[in-house]
């Protein structure tokens, strides 16, 4: 295990302990919240080419205070038990912060997806799912996986299919996994959800003029300069939505192959197409390539967004940061020691457990949709449309004025599933930040946003335990 990965779990525990010290909660309860409740480590054989490979994999359920537990599945050659434990712990706090009624969990399969064919990945995913079923570590009421680094809707569809085959007739089977393709029981707006949530979160944070004045920034997303590390699911949607809906300027992008820069802005949608075609972000028209891949950390900008992996901003490079705000779109990208160094310099770190909670929020909506066996909007869309249409007719009659067909179509439109999902996500991200900010402002001693987010989560989880009668 690399030092970085060992530090990730330690870092999560250190952050927990720091916030727990302010919480005033009994130490027995804090110990229970902090511990991972169940760790399933597995090894299974999969035929790759002419040989069998023994695959190492994990599923960790961090907290059973609410069920089902929930958390993504990561495919990466870096996966190890401590990393999955760290990620599962973060899921518990994340769910509490955005009022998603789940315990935290996470899965990891130690494979590098690029080294396997689609068929091989399918065999690995299906075998992993079978192992989870065997030990009752998956199910709509027990533990519900989702995509994470290295996985997406395709893997979720394989998981669902394996589950349905082995659990024939289970009426809520669709809810055993989220992040599925819409054609397989998924929900419109899930793929973009984490990135869109990052946008809503950052837009809310930069909207407070007094907070921004402390950082020497103007309020509002428009014109803010951003650097992104990782052009995968989270990084792509974050960049594209911040650019298109927020008017931000993406000045730098870093990927495995290197880092590119253009102070007037990089069009993220065009860059994604370019990378698909050429296999690299390097050479994208109008950009210069920086000397080292890791130079993204020191680019002059307002907001730095690590959206790749954990422990990217550490003791050895934190001093290079020139941004005023770091938005943790990835899980655990800033170590606890680095955060101390950044905080001393007045740099605000927006914690992962709040900022990237859009994925689990929309996964919750997907799970609700699966359990209700009906898409959102089906009941009320036409009713709303007819009501708005009648209102417009009455207004036209009483005023004697007609509006254009285009204007009418805009006013009378009923909400589609994706509109409802986005609206629920926006509401969730705004409310959650208001709660965190309020806790931060209320404390006499200055605390970080991460400590405030942790405190918010701890209060809610403690109250759940108390209601269960576990800690009267």
Rounded least distance, CB 49 to ligand NAD, Å? 24
Cβ proximity to ligand NAD: between 11 and 23 the closer is 11
- Secondary structure E strands in 223-376: 225-229, 249-255, 258-261, 288-289, 303-306, 325-327, 348-350
Measure the CA–CA gap between 75 and 321, rounded to whole angstroms: 29
Measure the CA–CA gap between 175 and 366, rounded to whole angstroms: 8
For residue 273, how many C-alpha atoms fall within 13 Å in the half-sphere facing its CB? 6
2: CB partners within 8 A, 6+ apart: 78
What is the arrangement of strands in the sheet containing 258-261, beginning at the earlier edge strand?
Answer: 288-289, 258-261, 249-255, 225-229, 303-306, 325-327, 348-350
Cβ proximity to ligand NAD: between 150 and 246 the closer is 150
For residue 447, how many C-alpha atoms fall within 13 Å in the half-sphere facing its CB? 26
- The C-alpha angle with vertex 35 and arms to 32 and 40, in degrees rounded to 5, equals 130
Rounded least distance, CB 345 to ligand NAD, Å? 23
Cβ proximity to ligand NAD: between 25 and 266 the closer is 266
Rounded least distance, CB 378 to ligand NAD, Å? 26
Cβ proximity to ligand NAD: between 150 and 377 the closer is 150
Q: Which residue is catalytic, options 70, 106, 369, 381?
A: 106
Helical (H) or strand (E) element with 73: strand 69-75
Cβ proximity to ligand NAD: between 255 and 366 the closer is 255
The pair of three-digit structure tokens given for residue 158, joined into one six-digit string: 């394989």
Cβ proximity to ligand NAD: between 369 and 381 the closer is 369
Measure the CA–CA gap between 459 and 420, rounded to whole angstroms: 29
Chain residues in the site for ligand NAD (CB under 6 A):
72, 147-150, 194, 229-235, 254-256, 307-309, 329-331, 356, 359
Cβ proximity to ligand NAD: between 58 and 465 the closer is 58
Measure the CA–CA gap between 348 and 324, rounded to whole angstroms: 6
Rounded least distance, CB 232 to ligand NAD, Å? 2
Cβ proximity to ligand NAD: between 229 and 370 the closer is 229
303-306/225-229 β-pairing: parallel
How many other CB atoms are found less than 10 A from the CB of residue 368? 13
What is the SS3 assignment for 281? coil
CA distances for 179 relative to 37, 137, 182, 307, 407, angstroms: 25, 18, 9, 18, 35
Rounded least distance, CB 189 to ligand NAD, Å? 12
Residue nearest to ligand NAD according to CB distances in the complex: 232
How many other CB atoms are found less than 10 A from the CB of residue 370? 23
Q: Is 106 a catalytic residue?
A: yes
- Secondary structure E strands in 160-265: 225-229, 249-255, 258-261
Rounded least distance, CB 97 to ligand NAD, Å? 13
Rounded least distance, CB 364 to ligand NAD, Å? 13
The pair of three-digit structure tokens given for residue 69, joined into one six-digit string: 């537990």
User: Catalytic residues, which ones?
Assistant: 106
């Amino acid at each position: 295990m690399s030092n970085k990965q060992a530090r990730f779990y330690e870092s999560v525990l250190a952050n927990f302990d720091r916030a727990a010290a302010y919480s005033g909660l009994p130490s027995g309860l804090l110990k229970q919240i902090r511990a991972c409740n169940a760790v399933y480590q597995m090894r299974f054989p999969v035929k790759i080419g002419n040989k069998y490979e023994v695959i190492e994999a994990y599923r960790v359920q961090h907290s059973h205070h609410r069920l089902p537990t929930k958390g993504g599945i990561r495919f990466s050659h870096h996966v190890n038990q401590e990393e999955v434990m760290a990620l599962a712990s973060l899921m518990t706090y994340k769910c509490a912060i955005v009022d998603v009624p789940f315990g935290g969990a996470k899965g990891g399969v130690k494979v590098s997806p690029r080294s396997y064919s689609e068929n091989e990945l399918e065999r690995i995913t299906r075998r992993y799912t079978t192992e989870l079923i065997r030990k009752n570590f998956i199910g709509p009421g027990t533990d519900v996986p989702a995509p994470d680094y290295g996985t997406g809707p395709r893997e979720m569809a394989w998981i669902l299919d394996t589950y349905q085959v082995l659990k024939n007739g289970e009426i809520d089977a669709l809810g055993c996994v989220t992040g599925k393709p819409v054609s397989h029981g998924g929900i419109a707006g899930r793929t973009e959800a984490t990135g869109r949530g990052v946008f809503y979160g950052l837009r809310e944070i930069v909207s407070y003029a007094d907070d921004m004045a402390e950082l020497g920034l103007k309020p509002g997303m428009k014109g803010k300069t951003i650097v992104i590390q990782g052009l995968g699911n989270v990084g792509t949607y974050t960049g594209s939505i911040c650019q298109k809906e927020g008017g931000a300027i993406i000045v730098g992008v870093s990927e495995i192959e290197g880092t590119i820069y253009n102070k007037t802005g990089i069009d993220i949608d065009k860059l994604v197409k370019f990378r698909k075609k050429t296999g690299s972000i390097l050479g994208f028209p109008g950009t210069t390539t920086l000397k080292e891949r890791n130079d993204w950390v020191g680019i002059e900008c307002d907001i730095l967004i690590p959206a790749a992996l954990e422990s990217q901003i550490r003791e050895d490079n934190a001093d290079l940061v020139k941004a005023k705000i770091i938005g943790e779109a990835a899980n655990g990208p800033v170590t606890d020691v680095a955060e101390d160094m950044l905080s001393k310099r007045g740099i605000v770190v927006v914690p992962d457990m709040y900022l990237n909670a859009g994925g689990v929020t929309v996964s919750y909506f997907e799970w609700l949709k699966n359990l209700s066996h009906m898409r959102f909007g089906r009941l009320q869309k036409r009713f709303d449309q007819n009501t708005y249409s009648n209102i417009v007719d009455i207004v036209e009659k009483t005023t004697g004025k007609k509006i254009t067909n285009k204007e009418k179509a805009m006013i009378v439109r009923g909400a589609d599933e994706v509109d409802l999902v986005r609206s629920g996500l926006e509401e969730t991200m705004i409310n959650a930040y208001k709660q965190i900010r309020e806790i931060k402002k209320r404390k006499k001693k200055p605390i970080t946003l991460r400590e405030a987010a942790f405190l918010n989560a701890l209060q809610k989880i403690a109250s759940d335990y108390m209601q269960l009668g576990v800690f009267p």
